[in-house]
Each structure stands twice: as C-alpha cells, then as structure tokens.
Amino acid sequence: MKGSHATTFAYGADRSRFIRTDSNQSAGINTQTIYVGGSEYHYSGAPLGADPTTGKLEIKRMVAGTLHTLHFDDGSDTTADESLALIFSDHLGSTDAITDFAGIIT
C-alpha cells in the first residue's frame, strides 16, 4: 500500500498470477486484471465495494509473446460501445500496423 493506493495479487496452485486488484481509496475506484492463458481481462472504473467487472473492459490477447488484439467495452449493455483493434507485427515482433476490424489503419 502506498498512500491511498493498494495492489493485491492472487496466485493459482501452480504459483502463476491470475488476478491483480488495484484499489484507489482517494478516487474511490477499483481496477482488476484477470490473467487467463495468453489473455488479459482488464476491468477499470468500478466504484469501491462494487463488482469490479462492472467497469470498462479491455481485453488483450497474446500469441507467441506478441500482442495481437485489443477489445474495448465501456461497460454499458449495448454492443455499439465495443471496438476491436488488430495488431500486425513484423518478423522481429515490432508493431507494423494497428487496424480496426474492417482493416482500416488507426
């Protein structure tokens, strides 16, 4: 804990991290990241004491150590708030381009 910010981690039986929770008392919000295989589910903006999964969602998917997709959801019940970014890398793993689902470079 540092000031009004606290970070906690939860680990599985194999000692791999599977949940990180950040609480900011002064701002009154929680941030939670759930690690599943090569994916990260990052929830942010939920009020303290509320289910952290009610906040904004960002999903990161990793393949062979390289980030390939980002998915954003602002937490409302509509699909219009969602977006997807595809990340293209060169043979060294550097990012070449980031596009939306239609292939338009962003």
Q: Is residue 68 part of a domain?
A: yes
At 52, give phi and psi (nearest 5°).
Answer: -60, -25
Give the Cα separation of 106 and 91 in Å (integer): 21
- Residue 80 confidence (pLDDT): 46
Mention every residue, 6+ apart, whose C-beta is less than 8 A from residue 96.
Answer: 88, 89, 90
Would you mind telling me the total number of residues written for the chain in this entry? 106
Q: Does residue 106 lie in a domain region?
A: no
Q: Which domain holds residue 73?
A: 5-100
Residue-wise pLDDT tens digits, 61-104 = 777 655 666 666 665 555 544 566 777 777 776 777 777 767 77
Q: How many domains does the chain have?
A: 1
Would you say 101 and 87 are in contact if contact means Cβ atoms under 8 Å apart?
no
Mean pLDDT value of segment 3-19: 88
Amino acid symbol at 93:
G
pTM exceeds cut of 0.75 = no
32 is a domain residue: yes
Look at residue 79 and tell me if it is in a domain.
yes
Amino acid (one-letter) located at 17 = R
Query: Average pLDDT, stretch 8-37?
Result: 86
